[in-house]
Copies of this chain bind each other. A is one copy, B any other.
Amino acid sequence: MLQVSRKFEYGLHAVTYLATKGFGRVVTVKEMADEIGYSQEFLSKAMQSLKRAGIAISVQGVKGGYTLGRATTDITVADIAIAIEGKPHLVRCGVKADSCEIFSSCHHRDYMNTLQHKIQDLLASTTIHTLLQEIEQ
């Protein structure tokens, strides 16, 4: 349930890594993979997802690499999750709506959606900046 995918973990770790390296500093995937201890190729995929979402900026070519696309105050955990895993689809009711006999009285979808929004709101209210700060007490 509360399990985060490894790709998300890669993405979050990469973002916090870039954040500690300072805004604007370009870092290669190789450096990150070596330092952090992840698979370079898989981390590369995560970075590509972060780039598409504008969370990271890529610089191609020899002196290339990645840097943060915006301030850590403007990157939320939800941003990273969605960039990497897409919008979550929590509700997977076993019965399709049009063949569900109790659909009108069944609020299962509502409950699941409520839950989803709660989690989503929580992650959306957690910026990288606050996450970093909460640690270094």
Chain A interface residues toward B at CB < 8 A: 1-6, 8-9, 12-13, 16, 35-39, 77, 81, 84-85, 88-95, 100, 102, 106-108, 110-112, 114-116, 118-120, 122-123, 126, 131-132, 134-136
Given contacts A3-B85, A12-B112, A16-B108, could you give 6 more A-B pairs where the C-beta distance is less than 8 Å?
A: A1-B8, A12-B108, A36-B108, A115-B126, A115-B131, A119-B122
A88/B1 in contact, CB under 8 A: yes
* Distance (whole angstroms) from the CB of A42 to the closest CB of chain B: 10
Asked if residues A116 and B37 are in contact (CB atoms below 8 Å), the reply is no
Contacts of A107 in B (CB 8 A): 16, 132, 135-136
The chain B residue sitting closest to A38, CB to CB, is: B94
CB-CB under 8 A from A5, the residues of chain B are: 1
Inter-subunit contact A4/B4 (CB<8 Å):
no
CB contact under 8 A between A88 and B2, given known A37-B93, A95-B37: yes
Kindly list chain B residues whose C-beta atoms are within 8 Å of the C-beta of A1. 4-5, 8, 81, 84-85, 88
Q: Which of B2, B84, B88 contacts A120 (CB 8 A)?
A: B2
> Quick check: B118 and A88 within 8 Å, CB to CB?
no
